[in-house]
Structure 1
Amino acid sequence: MKFAYRFSNLLGTVYRCGNLNFTCDGNSLISPVGNRVTVFDLKNNKSDTLPLATRYNIKCVGLSPDGRLAIIVDEGGDALLVSLVCRSVLHHFHFKGAVHSVAFSPDGRKFVVTKGNGAQLYHAPGRRREFNAFVLDKTYFGPYDETTCIDWTDDSKCFVVGSKDMSTWVFGAERWDNLIYYALGGHRDAIVACFFEADSLDVYTLSQDGALCVWQCDTPPAGLRLKAPSGWRADLQRREGDEDEEDNEEEERAVRGKAAPAAEEQQGKVRYSRLAKYFFNKEGDFNNLTAAAYHKKVHLLVTGFASGMFHLHELPEFNLIHSLSISDQRVASVAINSSGDWIAFGCSGLGQLLVWEWQSESYVLKQQGHFNSMVSLAYSPDGQYIVTGGDDGKVKVWNTLSGFCFITFTEHSSGVTGVTFTATGYVIVTSSMDGTVRAFDLHRYRNFRTFTSPRPTQFSCVAVDTSGEVVAAGAQDSFEIFIWSMQTGRLLDVLSGHEGPISGLCFNPTKSVLASASWDRTVRLWDMADSWRTTETLALTSDALAVTFRPDGAELAVATLNSQITFWDPENAVQTGSIEGRHDLKSGRKELDKITAKHSAKGKAFTALCYSADGQSVLAGGRSKFVCIYHVREQILRKRFEISGNLSLDAMEEFLNRRKMTEFGNLALIDQDAAEEAGVAIPLPGVKKGDMSSRHFKPEIRVTSLRFSPTGRCWAATTTEGLLIYSLDARMLFDPFELDTSVTPARVRAALRQRDFTRAILMAFRLNERKLLQEALESVPWDEVEVVSSSLPDLYVEKVLEFLASSLEVSHHLEFYLVWAQKLLMAHGQKLKARAGTLLPAVQFLQKSIQRHFDGLSKLCDWNRYSLRFALAVSQQRGLKRASEAPGSEEEADGSDEDDESLHLLGAGPGDADGLRP
């Protein structure tokens, strides 16, 4: 259970590619992020990534009308049937080709998939378990090029499909007599979107060149007639009926046969006619329409363009409501929620996700990840926040509870190389390649200190001592370490001695000692209290890439270029052990590599290193898809985590793919997207439109930074996919503690009935079942908590603290658990000091839970206090005004009404006005 870490959440990446979907209630947004899916709860301000992944990047997501099922299709054509209720995969399916879009019918019985130049109609999976959840009903052909979009009628009788051949096809989902298919033309570019009007067969089609065609159908949906069965279907239907029913059916069929020609002449086939054709106001030639969404009840059309603009129109009159720009990148996807109030936009170029309320013209959600890859991360001391720095020069702070970024600092003009928190948790210190080290305040959200060197240099790492007064940064080009004072901002000293770039800095948590790792195969220890002199120089066998101290400061770990992790005693400068990690990295083979993955791993090494919260294990990662946890004392591999299985990234496969090898070389050398940019052909050289340097590339999977949470409950890694959070999942594990046959749940409840609370709690912790633990602790009367907590053995105190911390996050019994924590710490405080190192993660976990409640309650109390002050001020002002005026019954009545109205706006009733009036 100690290392039962499971994937918990994905931060830093809010949108990658694919289509956006709102849930049926309209309060949550489903966004594909690489090969995973994130659900953004817009009402509760939370984001959650589903614990499932596809083999390639997700291409499209289809959501069932009831919101229970989702079909997720990746770029390779593999599909996952996912239950959004239990958050698990129900079925795997392969469509044997690239799928562009998928859409469920409004009744939820069928869904359509556009693949190649056709559309496939499938029976939707039911609630009962089936051997094959996807049953193909019919395949529709008609377009001559790839199909792009789908839309259904409200009664699920027909669907419309758009294509790149500039045509739109209306197909019948059933065997209709007067509608088999109907082709619509009139466009001069590929169809981007097509929509049915509400309760009608009228169609809107939009093409890439910004044209909208309105098509009117001469037949209502109720006018569609089912085709009479013929051949073996008619014989089968005839056998199922009785003889009397057969005679009646024959007579009726004869009558219908005589009347059929007349009915066909009267009704005829379904026909369409174009009512109007509109053009969007385009700014510039390179402003193609890229995405669109239509809300049938509100008649609202939202269109996104390649320039980052979006338009809101009212149909069918085509009245312009809004025309705004969200960025300078193309809008890749647009979605509207069920009520028509919120509009979601996704920009794949910036990794940006926006939810806009168009009536109030305000943002509901505005999130954007790092434009380039993340480089470094750091946990706050209480574990509530994570700060990340990226190659784009941005510093972002994330809330671990909600998963959202709440502040972004953009003062750096180049890539950020290191980030760290001070001991207070309210100051962030960052280093950058722009030659500055900056300090940011989380109270006022500003850059209050900027540290620079006498001559321009590039900083590769940064560290802050435990007091928060000394800031150190290592230079990449001058091989020096610069020391500043946080209080004054002055440069205190420049430490020289290294003969290579500084790769890592770390302060001893208990002493004023700085450890610096360099490419010159040494690690130097600098004494901050003794004139910045070098106390020891640790000689290594290879270049040092990362260095870190154990939480108690008694051990030092160094990762080197030869894939080794060496452990040192900083007091005596003696090596205490080493771990060979070359075989545990298992780096993959790149597409263009001419050597195998086994030989490629010889040049790989761990580049990120950190100790666990208890100091017994070390977490290591590098240019590989694996993160390893090693036991320090035993020097063995405890567990290995595969952070990604996305084959859309490079260096993922272990063997050479012979299908990509031809007599002319590797197919990966051919840039498939070199002739296209966002679906538009790049002009010939010499013209000004288009970016000639834009080429397609596959990012390589790698881990750039690792950190354990101070609470020990989770760890985070900055990777090519984003910021991955792995947390302990104790719900699925049975992990007993000193269990024997005499300990059963019945015995625990019997002890509770006998009011032997101490014995019941001890037996419950030995079974280690959460519900039983909660029952045992909450059965203790509050006035007996002090007696019970003082009688607990020392071995169980840490377990009780961890349970209290985890319960405070979800329980409503806040005061009861706070009393438990207070009495437990007061009774065992002196004994706990001897084991401060091992108990530190549990105490910090408890502090994080209490601090979160404190922040929420303090904000609520402040709001109430300010509201009461405002109410009193308004009341005093009204009283002074009435005293200055002549007395009169009408004026007094008016004044009391105004007081009641002002208090009513604050949430107080008219009866509360007298109590607040001085």
Structure 2
Amino acid sequence: MKFAYRFSNLYGAVYRQGNLSFSKDGNNVISPIGNRVSVFDLKNNSSETLPFSTVKNITCVGLSPDGGLAIVVDEDGAAQIISLITRAVLQHFHFHKPVSSIRFSPDGRKLVVTKENVALLYHAPGKHREYNALVLDKTYYGPYDETTCIDWTTDSKCFAVGSKDMSTWVFGAERWANLIYYSLGGHKDLVVGCFFEKESLDLYTVSQDGALCVWESDTEPSGLVLTKKLWRSPVRKSSSVSSRHFFNKEGEFNNLTCASFHKDTHILVTGFASGVFHLHELPEFNLIHSLSISDQRISSVVMNCSGDWIGFGCSGMGQLLVWEWQSESYVFKQQGHFNNMASLAYSPDGQYIVTGGDDGKVKVWNTNSGLCFVTFTEHTSSITHVTFTSSGFVIVSASLDGTVRAYDLHRYRNFRTFTSPRPVQFSSLAVDFSGELVSAGAQDSFEIFIWSMQTGRLLEVLAGHAGPVSSLCFSPVQSILASASWDKTVRIWDMIDSWQTKETLPLPADGLAVSYRPDGQELAVATLDGEISFWVPQDATQTGSIAGRHDLVMGRKESEKITAKQSAKGKSFTALCYSADGASILAGGQSRFVCIYNVKEQILMKKFEVSCNLSFDAMEEFLDRRKMTEFGSLALVDEGAGDGDGVQLSLPGVRKGDMSSRHFKPEIRVSSLRFSPTGRSWAATTTEGLLVYSLDGSMIFDPYDLDLDVTPASVRRQLRLKEWTSAIVLAFRLNEHALTQEVLETVPHKEIPVVCGSLPDVYVEKLLFFLAGCLEKSAHLQFYLSWAQNLLLLHGQKLKNRSGAILPTIQSLQKSLQRHFESLSKLCEWNIYTIRYAVALSKQRGLKRSAEQLEEGEEAETAQNEGKQEHGRVPFAGGGKRDACKETEVEQR
């Protein structure tokens, strides 16, 4: 098994904090998510998380005008210059202070960065490789408080900076003789946005109290000449603010939180703390419309280049919306779990991932697009476990609200609700391989409840555990249930023979997780002492154990007084998952690392660090001496003003989901793990979100049975000689994807059955796996389907004997076929209705045309009859010319 898994995508979160940005063409939204950046393609309805991460959460993103470069800055001021074309980090930079905003000039030659009360003008990175990409040009001082926003004039000659001291400062980007700086007052609250008019020095400023000031300039941008005053002073009556407007009418007070202005269409978008946004046309201040998108604060708003789409970000709900204001419809609407995710499960074909969170929502994500397409909100408390049935069309979830619910993915509805005779909190869940039996374990009554999926009736209550049931797992091949409990036992229950305990496995510590191997011949159990033990469930014998406590590297919390080494002694694995072939096991828990172990050798194969975000707690191994004071760590010192808003301490005992107004720093942990059915990827629900790791898709030179005669030239020589089987074997020995695809597509369609029949057995599985990958992306659907059909028909019996080893390949092939089936069926249905409409329309037009022809015929017949009566002959086209010719002939005669 290969272990070259790399970070692939981040699901479960679409926006956290910071500013949103549109790409140059306006079709992509760039959103910061924690310490990562995701790009959402609005045209193709897909998402991609860029393969880099910052040290702490990202607060602002600056995008160059050509769309090829981005600068991301985290909470401490550490910046990275990113190429959006190659998705690579070009350079690291540090501003040494938290940055409030960053903005490139329209010509792309300069950029302004504001931190504290200072504006810094830098030369923007060029296209040539430089030792120092950011060169400081000037430093501008003016505001007395922190800066909040930046805007440039369209000719890149001046820029404006808004501040919390209720003033707006206008600076010259070059050494203008008549403009060094100019201050504009007039607001009674901090300035949220400042915007220049297009090709003008007229300025709009918006403050938090909902006031809009319009400032007019008496000089054009091209007229920056030696004059004493460029701006009308707001002190004199003759040169006061041109106009002032207010968003909060009739005494209704609502904080304005963000604003965006589109210079071509003169449209101002403002977002408020109540979730309402307004669209106004400036400078007349005409209200276009006012709508509410949620009841949470709108954190960021941005308009695309054409001015048609508006992007909104709500950090409280983790929500990202793109609104088309002309048609008043959503272009894009996504929301992640705004609390921790507790569990995940892959569908049997690997196309979908279902997640359950502490917010009580069950969300289903498409693995191809990375977007959520359905959310179930029937639960009223935290979700503890979710799973798919073997059919892949039913999702089952357990919750602390005392219900287990089943959802139908065809009709998107909750069609079954399972409850217990008396209210209990369900902490674990499992569904058998037939999809008929649903079991859930209670954490307060220590019982296991069994229901029938078909009838919804409670079949049995299994008692015997003396502690909360932490995990349940059905055998993949027979109706046997394994349950792990805090009473230091794992019980094996026979679902066929009177629901009795078949075996009881003693554990050295409390059982936290249990998992069956895909063939049902082995059982893995994670216990509280950090060990993973392996058992043969048939005869209740232990075959081995792995001491994983040393691999659980745990950081030190800010509020803890013990070292990280001592803290790690109380940590353990809480999630286990076997690989598709059963040779490896994936383990994660109260740590930022996920480990892959070899089951047979019982050794660690690889460790994956799921997060390096220092904004989470328990990330650093040692305490920072700079944060130590005479009163102890700064994390333990309450620096609040006394009203609760500035308090930096969380409530006592709160570890997750702090709903009070106090500060909350989440702790990094892995709550659930699952391998994809294809074995090409695995996913983990963490504090960061739903992370997906997959095998690298780039070309890896991994030859098979290579010698000196195997070269691309020899492969193509065999193709010219029409030795198709030999060419395929040589291509697979060289193991280059492009060359193998070229060989397969060169083989004539009628030769496919012959080539498949003569292919050696060792290459059949390799070819099947290659076909599964090609079917997912290639447009030659029928061609590759012919290959797969002939391989399965001619080598089906041999493949059946090795069903366990080739299971990931078959599941990958099934996933590709299922995806094509769904897309083609939708296309065919659409085409049927389109053809029916076209036929009906053509019939209608045909009837109309025949009626018109009938009317024209009647009119022509009437005209002919009238012509006969007047001239004694039937008129025809060109008759005048023919008469003239006859007269000429008579004259000549």
Aligned pairs, number? 843
Report the alpha carbon displacement of residue 712 of structure 1 after superposing the two structures with TM.
0.6
2:795 & 2:344 partners in 1: Cα distance? 35
Report the alpha carbon displacement of residue 325 of structure 1 after superposing the two structures with TM.
1.1
The answer (yes or no) to whether the contact 2:350–2:815 under 8 Å persists in 1 is yes
The answer (yes or no) to whether the contact 1:195–1:205 under 8 Å persists in 2 is yes
Cross-structure match for 2:82 = 82
Report the CA distance shift for 1:368/1:469 in structure 2 as closer, same or farther (over 3 A).
same
2:311 & 2:721 partners in 1: Cα distance? 59
Query: Which segment drifts farther, 693-702 or 84-93?
Result: 693-702
Cross-structure match for 2:880 = none
2:229 equivalent to 1:269: yes
The answer (yes or no) to whether the contact 1:62–1:71 under 8 Å persists in 2 is yes
Cross-structure match for 2:889 = none
What secondary structure does 1:795 align onto?
Answer: helix
Report the CA distance shift for 1:602/1:182 in structure 2 as closer, same or farther (over 3 A).
same
Report the alpha carbon displacement of residue 813 of structure 1 after superposing the two structures with TM.
1.2
What secondary structure does 1:838 align onto?
Answer: coil
2:319 & 2:486 partners in 1: Cα distance? 37
2:276 equivalent to 1:309: yes
Cross-structure match for 2:370 = 403
Cross-structure match for 1:574 = 541
Cross-structure match for 2:133 = 133
Q: Deviations over 1:700-735 (max 9, x none)?
A: 001000000001111110010111011110415222
Cross-structure match for 1:817 = 784
Q: What are structure 2's unaligned runs of at least 5 residues? A: 233-238, 649-657, 860-893
Cross-structure match for 2:170 = 170
What secondary structure does 1:584 align onto?
Answer: coil
The answer (yes or no) to whether the contact 2:439–2:449 under 8 Å persists in 1 is yes
1:687-766 to structure 2, matched below 5 A, reads 693-766=660-733
What secondary structure does 1:343 align onto?
Answer: strand
2:715 & 2:391 partners in 1: Cα distance? 42
Aligned match of 2:827 in 852, 860, 867? 860
Report the CA distance shift for 1:182/1:881 in structure 2 as closer, same or farther (over 3 A).
closer
Cross-structure match for 1:603 = 570
What secondary structure does 2:551 align onto?
Answer: helix
Across the aligned residues of Structure 1 and Structure 2, the Cα RMSD in angstroms comes to 2.2
Cross-structure match for 2:870 = none
Q: Deviations over 1:164-200 (max 9, x none)?
A: 1111000000000111100000011111110000000
Report the alpha carbon displacement of residue 889 of structure 1 after superposing the two structures with TM.
3.1
Q: Deviations over 1:858-886 (max 9, x none)?
A: 10101111233345566778999999x99
2:547 & 2:10 partners in 1: Cα distance? 30
The letter for the 2-side match of 1:271 is: W
1:77 & 1:384 partners in 2: Cα distance? 39
Q: Deviations over 1:282-327 (max 9, x none)?
A: 5876621110000000000000111111111000011111111111
Q: What are structure 1's unaligned runs of at least 5 residues? A: 226-263, 682-690, 894-918
Cross-structure match for 2:334 = 367
Cross-structure match for 1:520 = 487
1:284 & 1:831 partners in 2: Cα distance? 80
1:194 & 1:27 partners in 2: Cα distance? 25
The answer (yes or no) to whether the contact 2:24–2:305 under 8 Å persists in 1 is yes
Q: Deviations over 1:724-762 (max 9, x none)?
A: 011110415222222223322222222222222222212
1:325-404 to structure 2, matched below 5 A, reads 325-404=292-371
2:603 equivalent to 1:636: yes
The answer (yes or no) to whether the contact 1:23–1:29 under 8 Å persists in 2 is yes
The letter for the 1-side match of 2:8 is: S
Report the alpha carbon displacement of residue 486 of structure 1 after superposing the two structures with TM.
0.5
Report the CA distance shift for 1:283/1:761 in structure 2 as closer, same or farther (over 3 A).
farther
The letter for the 2-side match of 1:224 is: L
2:506 equivalent to 1:510: no
The answer (yes or no) to whether the contact 2:699–2:736 under 8 Å persists in 1 is no
1:708 & 1:665 partners in 2: Cα distance? 44
Cross-structure match for 1:479 = 446
The answer (yes or no) to whether the contact 1:388–1:396 under 8 Å persists in 2 is yes
2:46 equivalent to 1:46: yes
The answer (yes or no) to whether the contact 2:638–2:647 under 8 Å persists in 1 is no
Q: Deviations over 1:118-157 (max 9, x none)?
A: 1000001111100000100010001111111100000000
2:259 equivalent to 1:292: yes
What secondary structure does 1:786 align onto?
Answer: helix
2:873 equivalent to 1:889: no
Report the alpha carbon displacement of residue 70 of structure 1 after superposing the two structures with TM.
0.2
Q: Deviations over 1:609-632 (max 9, x none)?
A: 100111110000001110000000
The letter for the 2-side match of 1:867 is: T
Report the alpha carbon displacement of residue 669 of structure 1 after superposing the two structures with TM.
2.0
What secondary structure does 1:323 align onto?
Answer: strand
Cross-structure match for 1:794 = 761
Report the alpha carbon displacement of residue 489 of structure 1 after superposing the two structures with TM.
0.6
Report the alpha carbon displacement of residue 693 of structure 1 after superposing the two structures with TM.
3.7
Report the alpha carbon displacement of residue 891 of structure 1 after superposing the two structures with TM.
13
The answer (yes or no) to whether the contact 2:590–2:670 under 8 Å persists in 1 is yes
The answer (yes or no) to whether the contact 2:32–2:58 under 8 Å persists in 1 is yes
2:857 & 2:98 partners in 1: Cα distance? 76
Q: Deviations over 1:350-372 (max 9, x none)?
A: 10111000111100111111121
What secondary structure does 2:216 align onto?
Answer: strand
Q: Deviations over 1:315-355 (max 9, x none)?
A: 00111111111111111000000000000000001101110
2:619 equivalent to 1:645: no
What secondary structure does 2:806 align onto?
Answer: helix
2:607 & 2:101 partners in 1: Cα distance? 36
What secondary structure does 1:589 align onto?
Answer: coil
1:676 & 1:320 partners in 2: Cα distance? 37
1:774 & 1:880 partners in 2: Cα distance? 53
Q: Deviations over 1:894-914 (max 9, x none)?
A: xxxxxxxxxxxxxxxxxxxxx
The answer (yes or no) to whether the contact 1:122–1:136 under 8 Å persists in 2 is yes
The letter for the 1-side match of 2:767 is: V
2:659 & 2:483 partners in 1: Cα distance? 43
2:203 & 2:485 partners in 1: Cα distance? 66
2:20 equivalent to 1:20: yes
Cross-structure match for 1:105 = 105
Cross-structure match for 2:95 = 95
Report the CA distance shift for 1:534/1:129 in structure 2 as closer, same or farther (over 3 A).
same
What secondary structure does 1:222 align onto?
Answer: helix
2:675 & 2:33 partners in 1: Cα distance? 24
Q: Deviations over 1:834-857 (max 9, x none)?
A: 110110110000110111111111
Report the CA distance shift for 1:335/1:716 in structure 2 as closer, same or farther (over 3 A).
same
Cross-structure match for 1:233 = none
The answer (yes or no) to whether the contact 1:120–1:139 under 8 Å persists in 2 is yes
1:532-547 to structure 2, matched below 5 A, reads 532-547=499-514
Cross-structure match for 2:209 = 209
The letter for the 1-side match of 2:171 is: F
Aligned match of 2:525 in 555, 558, 575? 558
1:693 & 1:852 partners in 2: Cα distance? 44
What secondary structure does 1:869 align onto?
Answer: helix
2:490 & 2:327 partners in 1: Cα distance? 58
The answer (yes or no) to whether the contact 2:699–2:737 under 8 Å persists in 1 is no
Report the CA distance shift for 1:579/1:892 in structure 2 as closer, same or farther (over 3 A).
farther
Cross-structure match for 1:849 = 816
Q: Deviations over 1:187-245 (max 9, x none)?
A: 111111100000001111111111111001111000114xxxxxxxxxxxxxxxxxxxx
What secondary structure does 2:626 align onto?
Answer: helix
2:322 & 2:38 partners in 1: Cα distance? 15
Report the alpha carbon displacement of residue 281 of structure 1 after superposing the two structures with TM.
2.3
